Amino acid sequence: MQYNDPRWKTLAGGYRQPYDPTPALRRLEAQIKPAETWEELWGELHHQGDVGEAAYASVPALVEIQKRNHSLGWNFYALVATIEIERHRTANPPIPGWLETSYREAWHALLSLALDDLASTSDRLVVQSALSVVALAKGETKLGALIAHLDESELDELVEDRCAWSDLFDVGRLTSR
């Protein structure tokens, strides 16, 4: 969907109000105030589990920006993962028919983008959010949601409870490469 497509102005955001993300997407593309722009996109496209058509339409646009710039970082993977996870909530609208093909194609491209970034990054947040995208792209929605939503303390608790981490593993050896 081109930025000049009039449908952008009719799409609902996470607050169920019209939200046109194209100005923010253009700023991301131009790398203008990225931190503020990500804050806007997070706030407007997703609100307490709610996503709308503007979120779905933003996914292909974000993928195209990432393909060209390779500089969107963890926010890119985390936001598209959140949108994909939340679109399955019964309260959220389905992807409009006119957008389905480009949304699916974007998710196909996301798998390659995430795998490329995983091969070259050591940024913990990029690793976690890209792994979530890989799981989601492979149809593993529960696994993708788990990876996306775990914070470090929850991960520590989980591996301690399930794997007896501190009893069985040498943490010093695990963190050194």
* 17-27 pLDDT tens trace: 999 999 999 99
62 token code pair: 């974000």
CA distance 68 to 123: 20
Question: Would residue 128 count as lying in a domain?
Answer: yes
The ranges of the chain with pLDDT < 50 are 176-177
Structural domain of residue 47, as residue ranges? 6-148
Per-residue pLDDT at 70? 75
Q: Is 124 part of a structural domain of the chain?
A: yes
Per-residue b or e along 26-40, where b marks 16 or more CB atoms closer than 10 Å to that residue's CB: ebbbeeeeeeebbeb
Q: What pLDDT shows up at residue 177? A: 46
Helix (H, G, I), strand (E, B) or coil at 161: helix
Buried b (16+ CB within 10 A) or exposed e, 91-100: ebeebeeebe
Considering its fold, how many domains does the chain have in total? 1
What is the model's pLDDT at position 175? 60
Residue 176: predicted pLDDT = 47
In angstroms, the Cα distances linking 134 to 17, 49, 57, 142, 176 are: 31, 21, 20, 12, 25
- Residue 176 in domain: no
Q: Return the pLDDT at 47.
A: 93
Give domain status of residue 117, yes or no: yes
pLDDT at residue number 58: 98
Could you tell me whether strands 50-51 and 46-47 are parallel, antiparallel, or unpaired per DSSP bridges?
antiparallel
Q: With respect to residue 76, please indicate whether it lies within any of the assigned structural domains.
A: yes
User: Which class for 165: exposed (0-12), middle (13-18), buried (19 or more C-beta within 10 A)?
Assistant: middle
Tell me 177's DSSP state: -
